Structure 1
């Protein structure tokens, strides 16, 4: 009997691994399955397995926080490396970050950003600019497009520029303003995104400022007259905003989440939406 495993059998094993991650199976079981795939050569005697990077993509999609934490701590550089060709659905230079934003996995996003800061030589595409291919958009642009305030807070606190333009010259604030134009009322999520972004922008710099000055009425209903006047330079920044900007500038990007939660200020003054520590999957489904 040949030791090689047929293509159909390998597909079955791969599907079982995918389902195991989806079903949040224990980390030890997932690593056993990943290793088992490595020990099963193809008919051409080549060994193909899921890399830590590819396994992390599955963990992000299915919010398996414990598995993501294990992969990032055990294989930090490999986990953030570029995935294989079979994962062609992830064309960006930083697919793990982009997927974490897209699927709103802010707990795993926080873990990824911690590893990036701890290993500055790892994943340079993730660390330097966080730029997607083609359109020049960063994960922060994506977070604004998809209204992910928690992800925005983590990205901004980790040092991503709030004024970086995409290929069309639009900043993350421009993305939000385009969504809010002619809206009668801003959703809570979009308003939270605007407020979060402004806390990291001591100096206003965005493309649509001229449009706001010419037609302020198109944003007044959604943002309120005070915010519109502030964005157009007709009103100084509120004292609370200036205070929060000053406080946030003192927090280190490497320990941003923990430092933010430990600030000796009332919870109502802290940016809303950030999870308090790892989720239950991170604590309960360990090795």
Structure 2
């Protein structure tokens, strides 16, 4: 793979056939990066590009091609792969080092690179899945320790990176609203330039929380958090009062589609809770 360091490539390249696989894989990576036409990329993937696995070459998988399309924002190719192969294009490929697979790397990669359009295609494709399978994809964490975002689901990553639009899209399609602690800490630790997006992430999590969380850290610094969150939201998160009426109304709207919240006039946006 093109992201391997030289020592790893030296270790992997133990035969001419394996080195040929690495060359074709890198060539395909470059082709996606250069935004070549979909028909050419798919013809190359299915007929010319191979990956080395279990001591022999194999065809390059649609899920691996989709990762390349995500990294380089090749929206046409990503759309083709998702439409043609549906959920199978989202299945995690095996790790080259430990041979394990699992988690939901495509959603996390989309969040990390802020590929909102491709993320929308992927979560839309999940609508046709069994509910259990869909939830596994939405809430899955990278199961391999070699993955860049191992142990984090896409929602947690969106909170950490303040990708508010990605977060709303995931939550509106049924992802679990995880990472409230991280959202609160991000709000008070980020600089002024990032504060708006951090505030939006917190607001979106609040819209999808089923109830106030079971923690009392807010009470330990009451004055600080009350000023940040507003009195009504602070009291709700502390378990002292029901959620604000505006929050309850916006919850219904948010669940009907991510675009509904963004289209609201300013005086009805979440900061009005304060």
TM over 0.5: yes
Give me the whole-angstrom Cα distance separating, in 2, the residues matched to 1:79 and 1:111.
Answer: 12
What is the rounded CA distance, in whole Å, between the counterparts of 1:52 and 1:267 in structure 2?
41
Q: 2:203 aligns with which of 150, 175, 195?
A: 195
Per the alignment, residue 284 of structure 1 pairs with none
Match in the other structure for 1:108: 118
Report the counterpart of residue 20 of structure 1 in structure 2: 31
The 8 Å contact of residues 75 and 117 in structure 2, kept in 1 or not, is answered as yes
Q: 1:141 aligns with which of 132, 156, 159?
A: 156
Do the aligned residues in 1 keep the contact of 2:232 with 2:244 (CA within 8 Å)? no
Greater shift in the superposed pair: 196-205 or 85-94: 85-94
Structure 1 residue 14: Cα displacement: 2.0
Higher helix share: 2
Question: Which whole-Å deviations, capped at 9, do the CAs of 1:116-163 have from their partners, x for residues lacking one?
Answer: 12133896674474244388642211211121111111111111122x
Partner of 1:93: 103
Measured in 1, the distance between the counterparts of 2:35 and 2:61 equals 18
User: Does the 8 Å CA contact 2:226/2:234 hold for their aligned counterparts?
Assistant: yes
2:163 is equivalent to residue 152 of structure 1: no
SS of match in other structure, 1:108: helix
Looking at structure 2, the residues matched to 198 and 92 of structure 1 have their Cα atoms a distance apart, in angstroms, of 29
What is the DSSP-based 3-state SS (H/G/I as helix, E as strand, rest coil) of the residue aligned with 2:68?
helix
Report Cα offsets for 1:157-191 as digits up to 9, x if no partner: 111122xxxxxxxx411111123347796701100
TM-score (norm 1): 0.71
C-alpha separation between the residues in 2 aligned to 1:41 and 1:93? 21
**Retained in 1: the 8 A contact 2:167–2:201?**
yes
- Tell me if structure 1 keeps the 8 A contact 2:139–2:175: yes
Residue pairs, 1:118-267, within 5 angstroms: 118-120=128-130, 126-127=136-137, 129-133=139-143, 137-162=152-177, 171-181=178-188, 187-207=195-215, 210-220=216-226, 222-234=228-240, 236-249=242-255, 251=256, 256-257=257-258, 260-261=259-260, 266=264
> Residues 55 and 136 from structure 1, CA distance in 2 versus in 1: closer, same or farther, beyond 3 angstroms?
closer
What CA deviation, in whole Å up to 9, does each residue of 1:73-125 have, x standing for no partner?
11114312231333879965111111112221121111111111213389667
Any gaps of 5 or more consecutive residues in structure 1? 163-170, 272-287
What are the equivalent positions in structure 2 for 1:38-77 lying under 5 Å apart?
38=49, 46-77=56-87
For 1:237 and 1:41, how far apart are their aligned partners in 2? Answer: 53
The question of whether the paired residues in 2 share the 8 Å contact of 1:52 and 1:71 is answered with yes
2:107 and 2:80 mapped to 1: Cα distance?
Answer: 17
Query: Which secondary structure does the structure 1 equivalent of 2:48 belong to?
Result: helix
User: Do the aligned partners of residues 112 and 122 (structure 1) sit closer, same or farther apart at CA in structure 2, a change above 3 Å counting?
Assistant: farther
Q: TM-score when scaled to structure 2?
A: 0.74
Evaluate the alpha carbon distance shift between residue 37 and residue 125 of structure 1 in structure 2; reply closer, same or farther with a 3 A threshold: farther
